[in-house]
Amino acid sequence: MPFRHATPVVLLVLCLGLSAAGCVGQSGLPPLCAEPQHCLCTTDFTKRIRGTVTYTDGARVVVRVDELPDGWSDWHAGPLSVGMSIGGSLRSGCTTPPAHEVGTEVVVFNYQRGTHDWTGCPEYDACLGECGRHFGGTPPPPEYDDCADVCADTACRAYAMDAWLNGDLRIAIESDGVLDFGSEPTAPAQIPLSEIDSLGDFGSLERFEACGARFPPPPSRCLDDTP
């Protein structure tokens, strides 16, 4: 089975009493809001991809892979190799990405490729339909699951390039031993390479608590902002 696309960790809380701020949920219910972390606190510094920007429109970039860590392995990104191009939206990064243009050398973090070559194509739905016609039933027999696995592995393979170029990533620019991720509303998002280890293990509760105390998070953002 191919790897699955996953979104970055976002902590969600139910925000109350925000109507005065112009944030009202559907049907008058309290809106669902994100309790964000500073982008540096949700960056996996153990997976660094060095590359060069070959396309950018400010919100999306394409990066040529120039260097990968020894023994590269990342379930979300897939089997990358030097020379290939990866890309996608910068929405998963800091509020304002660092200044970049074509030719800028960057460090890519949190890259997750798209699902275009897994289940994101019409051929996949057609393949599942054939599985249902041959192995229908309630509940579906094991043969249906096997058939669906083959669909996921093969049906969308022609769309692999779309998957590589339409994922999510965040970029930083390294200069004088400092990684510049751009900025959050609270402050510039910069960290010396020498201080990364002090943040703790990525994804741990200790990381969120210690990093959140060090880097003030941006304001809560309503996911259903209906003024």
pLDDT digits (tens, 9 = 90+) for 140-172: 899 999 999 999 889 988 998 998 999 999 999
Q: 142-154 vs 122-134: helix axis angle to the nearest 10?
A: 160
Cα–Cα distance, 171 to 29 (Å, whole number): 37
Q: What is the pLDDT of residues 110-136, one digit of tens each?
A: 999 888 887 778 999 999 999 999 998
Judgement on whether residues 18 and 50 belong to the same structural domain of the protein: yes
- Give the residue, 59 or 8, on which the prediction is more confident: 59
Cα→Cα distances 171→49, 57, 64, 190, 216, Å? 9, 14, 13, 12, 20
Does 4 fall in a domain?
A: no
Q: Give the end of a domain, one of 155, 178, 207.
A: 155
Structure-block tokens of residue 152: 């996921």
For residues 205 and 142, membership in a common domain is answered with no
Residue 86 vs residue 34, higher pLDDT: 86
Same domain, 136 and 163: no
User: Contact 36/13 with Cβ under 8 angstroms?
Assistant: no
Residues 105 and 30 both lie in one domain: yes
Distance CA 33, CA 17 (A): 12
Q: Do 149 and 58 share a structural domain?
A: no
Please indicate, yes or no, whether residues 174 and 198 belong to a single structural domain of this protein. Answer: yes
pLDDT digits (tens, 9 = 90+) for 96-113: 999 999 999 999 999 998
Give how many domains the chain has, as a whole number.
Answer: 2
Does one domain contain both 218 and 173?
Answer: yes
Q: DSSP label at 127?
A: H
CA-to-CA distance for 106 and 98, rounded, in angstroms? 10
Q: Would the pTM count as exceeding 0.75?
A: no
Q: Tens of pLDDT along 203-220?
A: 888 888 888 888 888 777
Q: Are residues 62 and 131 in the same domain?
A: no
Q: Are 97 and 130 in a shared domain?
A: no
User: Which residues, listed in sequence order, are joined to residue 170 by a DSSP beta bridge?
Assistant: 109
What rounded mean pLDDT belongs to the chain?
Answer: 81
Whether 63 and 170 share a structural domain: yes
Higher pLDDT, 58 or 66: 66
